[in-house]
Amino acid sequence: MKNYKCCSPLQILFAAVFFLSFSIKLSAQDGEKLFKQNCAVCHAAHTDQMLTGPGLKGIFDRAPKGDWLKKWILNNEKLIKGGDAYATQIYAKYGKAAMTVFEGQLTDADVDAILTYIKTPPVEKVVTGGPAAGADEGVAEASKGGIEPIYLILGSIVILIILLYALRGVRHSLQNSANRAEGKEETPEVSFFEEAKQWMQGHRRLVGVFAIIIVFGGMKSCWDACYNIGVYYDWKTQKGYKPEQPIKFSHKLHAGDNEIACQYCHSSVEKSRHAGIPSVNICMNCHKGIQKGPQYGEKEIAKIYEAAGFDPSKNTYDPSKQNPLKWIKVHNLPDHVYFNHSQHVVVGKIDCATCHGNLKEMTVAEQKNPLTMKWCIDCHRNTQVSMEGNAYYDRLHAALKEKYAGKYDVKFTVDKIGGLECGKCHY
């Protein structure tokens, strides 16, 4: 029978400390994510700076002990109505501004993670590698793109022409050397165009085949270019359009790393045909407190303050100094095309990335899809109508599937409910 050696008390203690510290670290990471999603709009976690609500530095010394903070976060209204002294005091101190009730949205574990994050002092990130470490990501991305194919083709043609001329000169020199050795007269040099003309006259069938291929290839290229033409006859509206914006705003940082919902900034996307360009007031909800970015420091955020007429040193606004931002629209459609964001997002339950690409991975917003009529029609032909949770459609769809089983395609795509009718998009 084997003898098993039990772990020593020291080993058990070490393991317990390791797992405890690891769990605290994970909790802090989860808490940071939850704090940014739910609290950062109104509160600064580790400073006493006043945003919409007070800064939370020292909150554990000011607030009552025990689970008071958890109760306040989950349902502050309940504490106030219940006559809690400190809750009533805070409510009155900050102008009776109502705080969001998170009961039903956050669990006890979520609140514990948020409180752990607030307790944990922020760790300063050290940038290594000198000035290059803070280089513009847009430049880095551009360098990854490589050389445009058209330039490669033109360069190859130029190199081939140079080689052709060089080889013709070598051939002519060798021919004359052979003629001199045989006592013959030297052959006069013929121009390139004259030689090409003579070659074409001697190879008419081959030239004809090449001509047909070139003509039909050119026609096919023209057809493809016209068929996939963008919303305007302007290269700027084509796939890959990525204009430089007045502020180096990173979708990757905001929507990707910090997981800010698209609807927070584009607030009309669920209510209107237009997604809307966020106003500077939305930016100020967060950046009144967040005055330094991870890449550009204070430089780009200062442009937000200039647009809003905000003085961060005095924490005041001056409407006379406002300088509105002029954002450049990336995704454009012509005036004769009707597109409704709310219809697609709310009713159709289409994810933003379907049309706009994965903005959570884009530093600079870019048109990832062509947005041509062909592209939209293909989407309508392939996208099934979302009917989950609608008893009327569930019953109708089930009846139609049973009635036409084996006769028709039973996939209920958008084109089957008028998605290809001209009047749906053009009016």
Where are the chain's structural domains?
15-119, 160-230, 372-427
Could you give the CA distance from residue 16 to residue 22 in angstroms, rounded to a whole number? 10
Chain segment 174-217, per-residue pLDDT in tens: 888 888 888 888 777 777 778 778 888 888 898 899 899 989 98
Q: Specify the CATH number for 15-119; select among 3.50.50.60, 1.10.8.60, 1.10.760.10, 1.10.10.10.
A: 1.10.760.10
Question: pLDDT digit string (tens) for 13-30?
Answer: 344 444 444 444 444 557
Cβ neighbourhood burial of 87 (10 Å; 0-12, 13-18, 19+): buried
CB 28 within 8 A of CB 36: no
Across-strand partners of 310? 317
CA distance readout (Å), 358 to 68, 217, 346: 41, 34, 19
Residue 26 is predicted with a pLDDT of: 45
pLDDT-based confidence at 153, cuts 50/70/90? confident
More confidently predicted of 67 and 19: 67
Residue 62's SS3 state is: helix
Crossing angle of helices 68-81 and 108-119, rounded to 10°: 120
* Integer Cα distance of 401 and 404 in angstroms: 5
Residue bearing the bigger pLDDT, 242 or 144: 242
Say yes or no to pLDDT of 354 above 70: yes
pLDDT at 358 over 70: yes
364 to 106, 132, 356, 361: CA distances (angstroms): 33, 19, 12, 9
pLDDT at residue 362 in the model: 93
Whether the per-residue pLDDT at 110 is higher than 80: the answer is: yes
Decide which of 373 and 406 is more confident: 373
Q: What is the pTM of this model?
A: 0.52
Choose the most confident range, by mean pLDDT, from 80-94, 260-274, 380-394.
Answer: 260-274
Model confidence at 104, pLDDT cuts 50, 70, 90, reads confident
C-beta pairs of 222-231 under 8 Å, 24+ apart in sequence: 227/372, 227/374, 228/370, 228/372, 228/374, 229/372, 230/370, 230/371, 230/372, 231/332, 231/333, 231/334, 231/337, 231/371, 231/372
Rounded distance between C-alpha atoms, residue 287 and residue 41, angstroms: 9
Please tell me the distance from the alpha carbon of residue 301 to that of residue 304, in angstroms, as a whole number. Answer: 5
Rounded CA-CA distance 142/317 in Å is 38
